[in-house]
Amino acid sequence: MEIVKTIEGLRRKLYPRRSGRIGLVPTMGYLHEGHLSLIRQAVQECDTVVVSVFVNPLQFGPGEDFDRYPRDPERDAEQVKETGAEFLFAPDAQEMYPRSPLTRVTVSGLTDSLCGMSRPGHFDGVATVVTQLFHIVGPDRAYFGQKDAQQAVVIRRMAEDLHFPLRVIVCPTVREKDGLAMSSRNIYLSPEERKQATVLYRSLSEAAERKSRGDFNRASEAVRWIEDQIRAQPLAEIDYVEVLSYPELEPVEEIGDRCVIAAVAVRFGQTRLIDNMIFSEEETECFVP
Amino acid sequence: MEIVKTIEGLRRKLYPRRSGRIGLVPTMGYLHEGHLSLIRQAVQECDTVVVSVFVNPLQFGPGEDFDRYPRDPERDAEQVKETGAEFLFAPDAQEMYPRSPLTRVTVSGLTDSLCGMSRPGHFDGVATVVTQLFHIVGPDRAYFGQKDAQQAVVIRRMAEDLHFPLRVIVCPTVREKDGLAMSSRNIYLSPEERKQATVLYRSLSEAAERKSRGDFNRASEAVRWIEDQIRAQPLAEIDYVEVLSYPELEPVEEIGDRCVIAAVAVRFGQTRLIDNMIFSEEETECFVP
């Protein structure tokens, strides 16, 4: 496994490997089992795998946690090495943005709800840096986690709209034993917050069961039920709870047998956690492959 | 020379040619000597040349001339064939935009003046379709004309900001014998409009001479002088006359020995023409290569 810090250096390394399939796993580092599952899938499917680690300032808003976002380059490198990925691309901000960038990639519509609403500009920053990484690496496949469901939908749509010559692969959320979705931000949680944070998974998965039993006809009923569960945790402060059509992310009234996603963002102290679950008759059918 | 209408078809054709250098000349068709000079340069420098012809609806505003933009696919094909270019990529709108695109590429700052001001959204449409074409063709070099100076600056900046793995080549404006810049829109002009339209080149080139003689200290003096020349033509209606720093396209007061561009847009009846000239001590030095 080789760590590469410059764009030119990475291009030089990848040049002789272009005849094979190249996989990219873009991350912000502080890797956990969620990231590692993406990397392992990439290693299985591709001849050359590049894991990028870049905490992208463009996707953090003012007052967000860019400065205190957790970083551990050495542990990241060890973990990537164990997966069998060939390259760890770890540019600094000067390398990615040698001057203040004037260019933005924006995806409208899909970013009007959920995190797009509570983090204005976030997905412009994500779409822009992912475009940069796609141009630097030239991957045949790029891997994203379903935990960031809106990001996955946005990137997939961007790749289609702009005719990127690659496949966007979305892999299932990896969870702790008690169901909490893996996230680099989980280390921020105090023991009590960590305990209460399991409400995200519990409420979503029980809502999915209730929905399949026919308990909810309207999206608003599911939303209210999930909100009630979360509010029962004294340290939880809801950012949003939404039930939207999937993958269009549009408001729905009657759920019926349509494929919807329940998505939540909840603050525990300074820490904002997200999670989501797809409600469908047959999950595999409406999960965008 | 082969005409290809689909993205998949073009990718298949280009796949075995990827080991050589691929050149792309994006056009809206109705080719003239300006386009042909770009194509010929591409043919000289590249192993495989793709000329794209696509009248991109996304870059026309409401009330602009998308519907009546001149088209002549057969003549275009003949002309491309004579240059020695290998592929003419001529997709329809359904192929480029199979559904209404949610994704836009925008370049701020550089698009606040000139045509960016008088054609809102125009450069978003240009940057987006050029991004699509770059992803479809995967060129090593892409060729643009200096006649569309702002477009060239915008595309170059976009390519740098987004780390596109290619070089943007800008080629000199090709002119009619009397100096009128070649443009597909010139055919709209009545004989009298055509005659008066020579004022664009005459005023710009005489202003360049006057500037080099030290006649203009301030940008506003050059602007006023050019405006006066154009206003002397009764059919000419000025859209803008601007003198800006080049290639930053920022307002300047004193010209001094800095590199500036004088750019004009003028309507003759329904027809909007643009032209520009770079004023510098040594033109080659400030012309972005």
Residue A283, pLDDT above cutoff 60: no
Please check whether residue A213 is in contact with residue A90, taking contact to mean a CB–CB distance below 8 angstroms: no
| Overall average pLDDT of the A200-206 stretch | 98
Q: Where are the alpha helices (DSSP H) in chain A?
A: 7-14, 33-45, 73-83, 93-96, 114-118, 122-137, 149-161, 191-196, 199-212, 219-231, 283-286
Q: Which residues of A touch B108 (CB under 8 A)?
A: 102-104
pLDDT at B257: 86
Chain B, 58 to 77: residues with Cβ < 8 Å from chain A are none
A109 is in an annotated binding site: no
pLDDT at A158: 98
Do residues B139 and B23 make contact, with C-beta atoms less than 8 angstroms apart? Answer: yes
Instruction: Kindly report, residue by residue over A259-276, the tens digit of the pLDDT.
Output: 999 999 999 999 999 999
Question: How far is it, in rounded angstroms, from Cα B200 to Cα A176?
Answer: 69
- Best of A17, A132, A135, A158 to mutate (most B CBs within 10 Å, chain B): A135
**Is residue B287 scored above 60 in pLDDT?**
no
> Per the structure block, which two tokens stand in for A144?
């994203």
**Fold of the A184-283 domain:** Pantoate--beta-alanine Ligase; Chain: A,domain 2 (3.30.1300)
pLDDT at A69 over 90: yes
d(CA B3, CA B80): 10
Residues 122-181 in A contacting B (C-alpha not used; CB under 8 Å): 127-128, 131-132, 135-136, 138, 157-158, 161-165
This complex has an ipTM of 0.95
The answer to whether the beta carbons of residues A238 and A231 sit under 8 Å apart is yes
Contact between B103 and A107 using a beta-carbon 8 Å cutoff: yes
**Mean of the pLDDT values across residues B123-129?**
98
Residues of B in contact with A107 (CB under 8 A): 102-103
- Report DSSP letters for B87-132, one per residue: EEE---HHHH-SS---EEEEE-STTSSHHHHHSTTHHHHHHHHHHH
- pLDDT, tens digit, 9 for 90 and up, residues B179-223: 999 999 999 999 999 999 999 999 999 999 999 999 999 999 999
Structural domain spans, chain A: 2-171, 184-283
Overall average pLDDT of the A9-32 stretch: 97
Q: What is the CATH number of domain B2-171?
A: 3.40.50.620
Provide the pLDDT confidence category of residue A257 given band limits of 50, 70 and 90: confident
Decide if pLDDT at A33 tops 90. yes
Please give the DSSP secondary-structure letter assigned to residue A264: E
CA distance A107 to chain B (A): 4
Partner residue opposite A165 with nearest CB, options B101, B106, B135: B135
Q: Which CATH architecture has domain B184-278?
A: 2-Layer Sandwich (3.30)
Percent of chain B with pLDDT over 70: 97
Average pLDDT of the segment spanning A2-14: 98
Question: What would the DSSP string read from start to end of A38-100?
Answer: HHHHHHHH-SEEEEEE---GGGPPTTSSTTTS---HHHHHHHHHHHT-SEEE---HHHH-SS-
Query: Could you tell me which of B266, B260, B251, B252 has the C-alpha nearest to residue B285?
Result: B260
Determine how many CB atoms are found less than 10 A away from the CB of residue B73: 13
Give the three-state DSSP class for B236. strand
Residue A280 annotated as part of some ligand binding site:
no
Is pLDDT at A256 greater than 50 in this prediction? yes
CA distances, B7 to each of A16, A135, B23, B155 (Å): 26, 19, 16, 22
Of A103, A105, A138, the CB nearest to B157: A103
The answer to whether residue B35 is catalytic is: yes
Each residue of A120-163: pLDDT tens digit? 999 999 999 999 999 999 999 999 999 999 999 999 999 999 99
- CB-CB under 8 Å, B110 with A106: no
Q: Burial, B110: exposed, middle or buried (Cβ in 10 Å; 0-12, 13-18, 19+)?
A: buried
Q: What is the mean pLDDT of residues A218-229?
A: 98
Whether A11 and B165 lie within 8 Å, measured CB to CB: yes
Distance (Å, rounded) from C-alpha A36 to C-alpha A38?
5
Per-residue pLDDT of A75-120, as tens digits, reads 999 999 999 999 999 999 999 999 999 999 999 999 999 999 999 9
The predicted-structure confidence for B1-36, as pLDDT tens digits, reads as follows: 999 999 999 999 999 999 999 999 999 999 999 999
Output the average pLDDT for chain B: 96
CA dist., res. B226 & res. B202, Å (int)? 9
pLDDT of residue B288: 53
Residue of A nearest to B8 (CA): A165
Q: How many CB pairs under 8 A join A and B?
A: 73
What pLDDT was estimated at residue A282? 64
Contact call for residues A249 and A285 (beta carbons, < 8 A): no
A148 residue type, one letter? D
Q: Does B112 touch chain A (CB under 8 A)?
A: no
CB neighbours (10 Å) of residue A99?
A: 9
CA A162 – CA B101 distance, rounded (Å): 8
Q: Considering CB atoms only, which of B108, B136, B163 is closest to A7? A: B163
Contact partners, residue A288, CB within 8 Å, separation at least 6: A153, A156, A170, A247
Distance CA(B192)–CA(B254), nearest Å, equals 37
Quick one: pLDDT at residue B289?
Answer: 47
- Say how far apart CA B112 and CA B89 lie, in whole Å: 31
Distance of CA B158 to the CA centre of its chain: 15
How open is the CA angle A116-A120-A123, to the nearest 5 degrees?
55
Q: How far apart are CA B217 and CA B262, in angstroms?
A: 14
Sequence-separated contacts (24+) of A280-288 with Cβ below 8 Å: A280/A246, A281/A212, A281/A257, A285/A259, A286/A246, A286/A259, A287/A170, A288/A153, A288/A156, A288/A170, A288/A247
State whether residue A120 sits within 8 Å of chain B by CB.
no
Residue A42: pLDDT band (50, 70, 90) is very high
Neighboring chain A residues of B107 at a CB cutoff of 8 Å: 102-103
Nearest-by-CA chain B residue for A111: B102
Residues in chain A within 8 Å Cβ distance of B164: 135
Closest-CA distance, B251 to chain A, in angstroms, reads: 17
Instruction: Tell me, yes or no, if A196 comes closer than 8 A to chain B by beta carbon.
Output: no
Using CA atoms, how far residue B224 sits from A159, A197, B228, in Å, is: 47, 67, 6
Q: How confident is the model at residue B283 (pLDDT cuts 50, 70, 90)?
A: low
B148 is in an annotated binding site: yes
Contact between chains at A157 and B110 (C-beta distance less than 8 A): no
Nearest to B165 among A104, A127, A135 (CB): A135
Strands (E), chain B: 2-4, 22-27, 48-53, 87-89, 103-107, 141-145, 167-171, 236-245, 260-268, 271-279
Residue A207 pLDDT greater than 60, yes or no:
yes
Tokens standing for residue A113 = 């709800």
CA distance B174 to chain A (A): 29
In this structure, the number of other CB atoms found within 10 A of the CB of residue A109 comes to: 15
Nearest neighbour of B163 by CB, restricted to A104, A110, A132:
A132
